[in-house]
Structure 1
């Protein structure tokens, strides 16, 4: 237990310092809101830590440290601040400076502009995450199955080249057709952008990652490609949390602090799972994480459709589904590990 605690000691310290600072500067209510945002980020992104841990194993220790430190700037400030700022400017037909002014001094107006951009954000993130889910299960080389009756069939279906991409495109066409009037083209473009980025980033990571026997330069390139993929995946997870945060508060500073502290905690969990080789013991945890990813992607796309009637998917629902799926996978993994140990067999 002490070995595991050393990974979360620093993020826990940062969370404590951050909450105390908010308490002193903004008061008890602001500190409570920040704590809620922190919990929201952790519940929505814990499955992200499981998936990222597998990719992180390809990186060198310096690249892992970069992902944990400077790499944190990209999802925290790039996705939670600059990303919505750019989308708000585009959706509202205003300049970036005006969007920044609204974010800092007129949070209600900024929230209204963000709601206009929300369907495009959801379409992008939803399609990116949906394809991550499909590509994991539509894999003919996959032999370890958690839900045997379903996953074995999906694995066999993976023999059809690019079937998962075709299925994702069909889902996107259906979502864009059911989207609010006047937004179909923008949603279709955003969704296609999410698909293209997912395919491109995964393909680059796999291409360079397969050059393990090549020279050091290629190995470094493989790590860089995997790092880029990690950041894109992390960013897609952050989109849902960013939008959900505005349902809790419109104070951008509190959102950045709460979600940023949560992201730091998730980063540390990712490194812990990778370095301790936990996924080799908890063999179904990665499956549960990908089911949670698929559920989150579908819920984000459902949010695009529900916007037509002025409805939205509650933020707690995606977090609850992810936690339940991960707990089920964890329980089955522990039972499998105990059975293997009782039989005197090595871990699967």
Structure 2
């Protein structure tokens, strides 16, 4: 299962490193590898959250996520998104933005591609930070039977009984973040943060409208029939989302994936301003491995076996959202972001193992008592 899922990721990684070497020699190869590792380390929480959503979808739509989704991740977020930001910021047309990118200007050189993208970082961080903060808060505010850090999660669930609590907190955090930004950027940060909130509410609302849990979609168009047929080949496919529900889940996944990509894309320009190397490292290596990890978690049922991984991933999301909002006014190393995410995921994984062992012991004790 491991080699079946990750084999093509290793193969594409090899191709990307070869292309990087042919393009820029040993230095480009090393930088490409560093960017790939950076993206993977930053995206463990992304993979866990994606897996929880992807497991609701049929095998057909999981394949769409791995094919069409990867094109959106690589071409959209790692290549087109920075070009769009620079084009809008500097009032350049697409051709001029591409030409500027290929000049590989230094991040400290005024007017360069890297400089313009870095200058737009407060707005990008506000949008992504608020979106991810809403995602974190809505998870923590939901009533649930299982808690990981109960001493914090239970009070948060109690606060969540207040209607609109996540929106109120996110707005308050956004206002504080805007107040800390350098003069002249306050309005831009507020608008970007509000757009991030609107995007989250819109995607969430559309998901509820089309029943993203897959328990009420009864469409029967050709795509639905094909997806349902694929789902029924396996017991694991029963009850999976198809049709409009699966499509909305797919869109939701892509928006979440894009929000997770902000810190990696911006942070990459602190390492290199070469858009080709960034696309190879973040896109072809990082994004593809994250998707393979997502599918591996789904196919192996890892999230059901290790019950606290969901919680750890969302705590990592909360940390990432706070870090993104902090970077509006101060510099925070991407290494810190990556380490925090890995620590939360690792701690949740270890806690899940301990919980499973304790449950197994309790079950064994009950069996012994019953047999006696």
Short-chain TM bin: over 0.9
Q: Which one is further off, 86-95 or 226-235?
A: 86-95
Match of 2:219 among 191, 198, 216: 216
Secondary structure of 1:182's partner?
coil
C-alpha spacing 1:245/1:214, structure 2 compared with 1 (3 Å): closer
Secondary structure of 2:182's partner?
coil
Alignment of 1:185-196 (within 5 A): 185-196=187-198
CA distance in 2, matches of 1:91, 1:26: 29
| TM-score computed with the length of structure 2 as normaliser | 0.87
Secondary structure of 2:73's partner?
helix
Q: Partner of 2:132 in structure 1?
A: 129
CA distance in 1, matches of 2:37, 2:292: 15
Structure number, greater radius of gyration:
2
Tell me the C-alpha RMSD between the 2 structures: 1.5
**Offset at 1:5?**
3.3
CA distance in 2, matches of 1:330, 1:320: 15
Q: Partner of 1:115 in structure 2?
A: 118
CA distance in 1, matches of 2:335, 2:208: 34
Match of 1:249 among 272, 278, 297: 272
Q: Partner of 1:171 in structure 2?
A: 173
CA distance in 2, matches of 1:214, 1:136: 24
Q: Partner of 1:321 in structure 2?
A: 340
Q: Partner of 1:309 in structure 2?
A: none
C-alpha spacing 1:158/1:191, structure 2 compared with 1 (3 Å): same
Instruction: Give CA deviations for 1:25-46 in whole Å, capped at 9, x if unaligned.
Output: 4211111110000000000011
CA distance in 1, matches of 2:217, 2:35: 44
**Offset at 1:90?**
2.0
Q: Partner of 2:350 in structure 1?
A: 331
Match of 2:286 among 242, 255, 262: 262
- Which segments of 5 or more consecutive residues in structure 2 lack a partner in the other structure? 107-111, 225-241, 365-372
- Count how many residue pairs are aligned between Structure 1 and Structure 2: 337
CA distance in 1, matches of 2:286, 2:217: 38
Secondary structure of 1:344's partner?
helix
- Which segments of 5 or more consecutive residues in structure 1 lack a partner in the other structure? 307-311
**Offset at 1:24?**
3.4
Q: Partner of 1:226 in structure 2?
A: 249
Alignment of 1:45-84 (within 5 A): 45-84=43-82
| TM-score computed with the length of structure 1 as normaliser | 0.93
C-alpha spacing 1:252/1:322, structure 2 compared with 1 (3 Å): same
CA distance in 2, matches of 1:271, 1:327: 19
C-alpha spacing 1:27/1:210, structure 2 compared with 1 (3 Å): closer
CA distance in 2, matches of 1:29, 1:85: 24
Whether the aligned pair in 1 keeps the contact of 2:104 and 2:274 (CA below 8 Å) is no
CA distance in 1, matches of 2:250, 2:64: 9
**Offset at 1:64?**
0.7
CA distance in 1, matches of 2:308, 2:214: 28
Instruction: Give CA deviations for 1:251-271 in whole Å, capped at 9, x if unaligned.
Output: 110000000111000001101
Match of 1:303 among 327, 336, 339: 327
Whether the aligned pair in 1 keeps the contact of 2:128 and 2:260 (CA below 8 Å) is yes
**Offset at 1:106?**
4.2
CA distance in 2, matches of 1:206, 1:326: 28
Whether the aligned pair in 2 keeps the contact of 1:205 and 1:226 (CA below 8 Å) is yes
**Offset at 1:107?**
3.3
